[in-house]
Amino acid sequence: MGKEQDIELIKKYQKEIFLFSQAYALLHWDLETYMPKKGAECRAEQMALLESLSHEKLISDELWEALERLKEEDLSEDDDIMVKRLYKDCEKARKIPKELIEELARATSLGTIAWRQAREEKDFKIFEPHLKKIIKLKRKEAECINLPGYLYNSLLDKYEEGMTVEELRLRFEGLKKGIIALLQKIKDSGRYKTQKVILKKKEFPEPYQMELVRDVAQKIGLGKDFSRIDFSEHPFTTSIGSGDVRFTTNIREDPLFSFYSSMHEAGHALYEAGLPKEHFLTVLYDAPSLGMHESQSRFWENMIGKGQAFWKYYFERFNRRFGIDDFDKWYREVNIVEPSMIRIESDEVHYPLHIILRFEIELGLLEGTIQVEELPKIWNKKMREYFGIEPQNDKQGVLQDVHWSQGSIGYFPTYILGSIYAAQLYEALKKEYPNIEKDIEKGDFMRIQQWLKENIHKHGRKYLADEIIKNTCGEGLNPDAYLDYLRKKYSKIYAF
């Protein structure tokens, strides 16, 4: 077959794979938002069928042979990179035996149910045998993929292409030390010692919360004609195809939960909406990694949404309702630093510690230096060590996250990478537009949105995350940028 026919063939395959995954995305979105309870069993079958069809396409010999031929050809830059990415995806998929995939699907499906029950009953023992099985299977999966170095690398690569344990360890070590030192300064400050949580205990009726969520999503660039917002237990973002991105939110006790979770998800949604249309229905219409994706959500949630400039613009809409009429008081309260048991309730400063704790544990589990039955003990010990607090029960501790029950090992580090990338991007943005905060104060986010689209979104998956960051920020992953950002911000907030 000729080069052109092969390109056509692999595009046809990609088109079908991505149309399947879009239909799958809608089935999942509906499951989380509107599906009647009794539809669950059948929905699982519908999703399993689409997933298996998509997988069959990905591992088909016809596709593989075309890719093998194309690898030897002289291609245009875009086709070349498309072939390279798709080749790697296929290669990895073809390494994992069908039986292992099925075993994993069963184990994680039962595991998620068990995790839910264990969490409800605050009893890790219920989840323990399931997690053991899952770890065993994930180890097998990693052995099949067999990337160099740590076994963990083979799993991590799925979420953060090109990243390794070796590099993470190096980066996280300095970050951990820097955060702990910064926390010490914060805790020694007079303001910390006398701080009181007011805001989180206030009531904020749902209609007002939703009004603000819709307002802010639209302001930062999510038009109604290509996006929508719904409710689900856990907020998430999904894309059902070109021209249709959706995120969800929820109303929780914290009156700002919906607002910040929405800014976060809106950041993800803007990324999806900004992907390069010319590569739609190919592997290049995607983010290079979850860390890169997370950088966009963190950017909007933290760098913008928790910044002084943003609140200069938005404070008016809150102060009357909450009776906090002093701007500085409000800004400090929004950024209050306090150790928390729960990762998703964490402030920006403590956040990396939550992740490092999980990374250390899941790495140990996979490498065999930590046993599943020791988990609650180890978890609580690390919490005491890093946070100075200890969970009252497993629900507040080792059972708080769904990830492991779903077999997502190697996923957690991407959360920190997102924060670091976001800080680096914010620095680069301010270097290019020194007066960008003036825009934010006026509620004008157009320039920021365009800048992110130009520098991040429009590249899709053509470059690795690290390459994109290098091109935009002048250097690759650098945790010091995050530490700098935190130090500058919190030394002002806590006046030290």
Catalytic residues, by residue number, are 265
Smallest gap from Cβ 272 to a copy of itself, in A, equals 12
Could you tell me the smallest distance in angstroms from the CB atom of residue 248 to a copy of itself? 12
Q: What is the DSSP letter of 300?
A: I
**Residue with Cβ nearer a copy of itself (203 or 233):** 233
Q: Which is nearer to a copy of itself, 39 or 205 (CB)?
A: 39
Least Cα distance to 145 among 88, 102, 68 occurs for 88
Helical H segments across 368-412, by residue range = 375-387
In the complex, the smallest distance separating the C-beta of residue 377 from a copy of itself, rounded to whole angstroms, is 41
> Of 475, 470, 481, 344, which Cα lies nearest the Cα of 415?
344
Q: Closer to a copy of itself by CB, 56 or 475: give it.
A: 56
Question: Which has the closest alpha carbon to 51: 111, 113, 105?
Answer: 105
Q: Name 327's bridge partners.
A: none
**Closer CB to a copy of itself, 154 or 262, in the complex:** 262
Largest Cα–Cα distance in the chain?
74
Residue listed under structure tokens 């990179």: 81
The H or E element containing residue 198 is: none
Asked whether the beta carbons of 191 and 332 are under 8 A apart, the reply is yes
Residue ranges in contact with a copy of itself by CB under 8 A:
16, 19-20, 22-23, 26-27, 30, 34-43, 45-46, 49-50, 53, 224-228, 230, 240-246
SS3 assignment, position 245: strand
Cα–Cα distances (Å) from 479 to 248, 312, 449, 488, in that order, read: 30, 28, 24, 14
Residue 5 beta carbon to a copy of itself: minimum distance, rounded to whole angstroms: 21
Those residues whose C-beta lies under 8 Å from the C-beta of residue 247, and which sit 6 or more positions away, are 217, 227, 229, 235, 236, 237, 238, 262, 265, 266, 268, 269
DSSP 301-361: IIIITTSHHHHHHHTHHHHHHHT---HHHHHHHHT-----SSGGG--TTTHHHHHHHHHHH
CB of 19 to a copy of itself, least distance (A): 5
- Measured from the CB atom, the residue of 29 and 260 that comes closer to a copy of itself is 29
Query: Smallest distance from the beta carbon of 241 to a copy of itself, in angstroms?
Result: 3
- For a copy of itself, give the closer residue by CB, 174 or 243: 243
